[in-house]
Chains A and B, each alone.
Chain A
């Protein structure tokens, strides 16, 4: 790990000023950043510790019905918040399907958005990686790439964003609140992460020094509480990143879908909202045929970026399956194995 200056600001303004200097990085729990610093993939000259900034660790109900989640709320605390989990069961399930209990106790909501790809070439400073070191090339292309992107990738980068949490959030129209040198602003989560194009090193739309202070789920997203699920396919049942994941949310009235949300994870450099699929579902009755049609629409533009053609069919099946799960309803209790297709509970809603 490189040597760095450690700075603990006492206000957001002080943090933003300190982090606007070249080479500075924000430190929250550090569960991803310290790991990357140990491998040498990240070498910040200054760490600005934001864990003590006042007011960033609250889950607040807003007057307009929105819910606001401070960037320093820990993943486990959000998943365990009873009101939040009742309103957004698939968000809680996505959180609990990620990492391990120890990591969820430390990792923050803001850090979850800001985490980097788990592409092995990004993490290894000896490998060529346009995302880590612009212009060096991409060793993932033509390399070990069976877990890489099938949507939105470019000839410069085929990495995926690893977050589970972001997948339901993008489906539910989450907004990201940001503080910067020029004051506060907000962007839709769907516009927050960038596709690689020719500049994969620019992972988000944040300007230098800009800090994610909160996430907000709009009041309208509450319409989906009863019928939403997150489903995650991975190479072992627990403590693994998604090969492919999907979140579906349905607003069903009198047997008709009034509104639908569908997003995919593990398939692109950002959580992937499938709007064409959503449009197909509106006005339909829930059922396997229309769900499979929606799943096909969601993957219509998918292309393998290497040895990962299997992920396209896997994503289709995951999407139609999660729509079935959502139509069956959010479970009464968090499944023992969150977001898993496996489970030993008799009659569990995991089986559709």
Chain B
């Protein structure tokens, strides 16, 4: 019932907005990271529906990976490459807001989202999706071993699990940084000791996710049955396998290791179509658009939409994983990474 009212309100708002700015821009540029599909998916179809409804065409501009996109936006602050940015995450948000990349705007629909996620946006940007970086394990490997898969972060430092874990370098890899932040958020000042124990436990460090997941992970033929990946990796292992109806995913997730990454959308300061840009942000958090996020972007919607059964069955979505504020991350990142290097190096 509530949702129907919301949908009606959104539609009414959109209509009002369209009327309000008739004669405004008829094309908006949406700046995104490189894994956002440029064409030919349900997400793009939804954007086309937005165009049909409002007469505003959407040009998707791929600005590189998230770090590159944010660095460029910082340099172009005030004279942006587009009107709306999709995908700046909580580890990079402070860098962007400090450089005044965004014109503060939060979508009305955000009042119905998880308040914790909305608060991270600090009134400047709107959360659009979230996902978790978690340690995954190879079920087949543990089935054939006498060990049970570890169930806590601490267990990874247990000598019983020596030589089994692969992680990514936090200085070169986004999930690598997220896992370091997970240990900092969970262990506080004791995180250096924990990493010393992981080193003693012969943790393998790779430079990026591919090398760990597709090189070191036992499922890909490597010798590490534990690897830092995503909470959404198991459903995709099922979804893309020969048997998309399998009841058990080939990999599992250790929930206690998860770290939440939240992505935001915002209106870029300097856009010459601020009204239409706000209208687009409202649309990006509408159920119409949000329902297509999981299958196309590998992350979860902030709006209240039903998840595909494969995610219900196989994804691990922790209720309230510990988090650090964007400001704390921005202030600590360089020194944490340097300290991490001195521990593991």
Do A and B form a real pair? no
Binding site for A on B (CB under 8 A): none
